[in-house]
Structure 1
Amino acid sequence: MILQILLWCLLFLLGGTLFSRKLNLPPWPLQSKTPPRICKNNTTKFKIDLMRDVFKTFDKNNDGFITRQELKESLKNIGISAADHDVADMVRKVDANGDGLIDLDEFCNLFEDDQGGPSDACHVDGDDDDDDGGDLREAFEVFDGNKDGLITVEELGLVLSSLGFSEGSKLEACKEMIRKVDMDGDGKVDFHEFKKMMRDGLKGIVPTLSNSKN
């Protein structure tokens, strides 16, 4: 499901930046080689706050619901032209109470499996760069503006800005997001690195938890 994959991408990429901001920390992992020690309650609250922030970018009128039209407009802003019946199908898969809208609880249910990731949704099984990837490839191409097989800092910024995230206009924030995924150090993200990010899932959103008590 392309919507779910894109949302996982946003949570992963924005997670470390927003995490540092909300806890008043220097950007991780830049401030040290050791992740900050935080309590589990703070991390759980952070994840909820992060999901709420992403939800608000789709909820254009801030009424607490994402309508079909709002979803269609958000997808169009990042270059995905979805037919009305496709948008309706996306909403229907998330809409648990059948009211034709997506509320925050239904939105958060997309990420209830915080131990794995979107692997089942996007069928991420191996490291074969030649694997077309279906919806995963489509999600990658949302960020790969010029379709050269690489996501640059500038391309990432354009997508985030088009969705209303202020981080999109902040060069250092975008560089930090790229660094979290960039394994070969070229300052860009290829499809192989993108697939690994999706396999890591929510484990990559926040630093490793400390087992110590408050």
Structure 2
Amino acid sequence: MKFLLTSGGITNKSIHNALVDMLDKPIAESNALCIPTAMYGHPWVGPGVKTWEFISGKEENPMVNLGWKSVGVLELTALPSIDKDRWIPLVREIDVLLVSGGDALYLNHWMRESGLAELLTSLSAVYVGMSAGSMVMAPEIGEIFVGWTPPSGEDQTLGLVDFAMFPHLDHEMLPDNTMATAEKWAAGMQGPAYAIDDETAIKVIDGEVEVISEGHWKLFSP
């Protein structure tokens, strides 16, 4: 699977071009599924109006509203209660998964419970994450990002990439998301860790990592 891991969505031309290259066809010819699940676990963004804004493409972060041929909703919390034959074929045929921000550990839990996590590496789709939707691909998120507490009580996530991410670097609405905070966070990570702002994304194809940015970012090596 191809991963485009963003902090704030498809926020500039460079990230947009990277997405089109990964799709290998125009956005207008591509079918998408959006996954809002992470939002329900975070007190700032769901449930309620923010979740609807993401699904409907009304939010400020460009993802769902890019002009896709079609957009459907894949709600992970519902999947364990329906037959796999009703949703797995849909996921296998889709061109792109658009995964919202919210709580990364809540998203990790439901990716595993739903069965989506075990499918991801076999999909040909492009996975586009935003904030928590990106962080969940890392081996761990770090204690400062723990909100919803999973049954295990730990901060491990899917580990489908070998680096961790600190999103929304220097965001005006998040005064604690400074480079100094990111350095302290990175010191507790077991492997490479990126701090990225909302004008930055990390592209991963077959394990090869490329930073796409019109903003600022930093790689912390262990």
Quick check: which one's helix share is greater? 1
TM-score by length of 2: 0.26
User: Which structure is larger by alpha-carbon Rg, 1 or 2?
Assistant: 1
User: Could you say which structure has the greater relative contact order, defined with CA pairs below 8 angstroms and 6 or more residues apart?
Assistant: 1
Quick check: which one's strand share is greater? 2
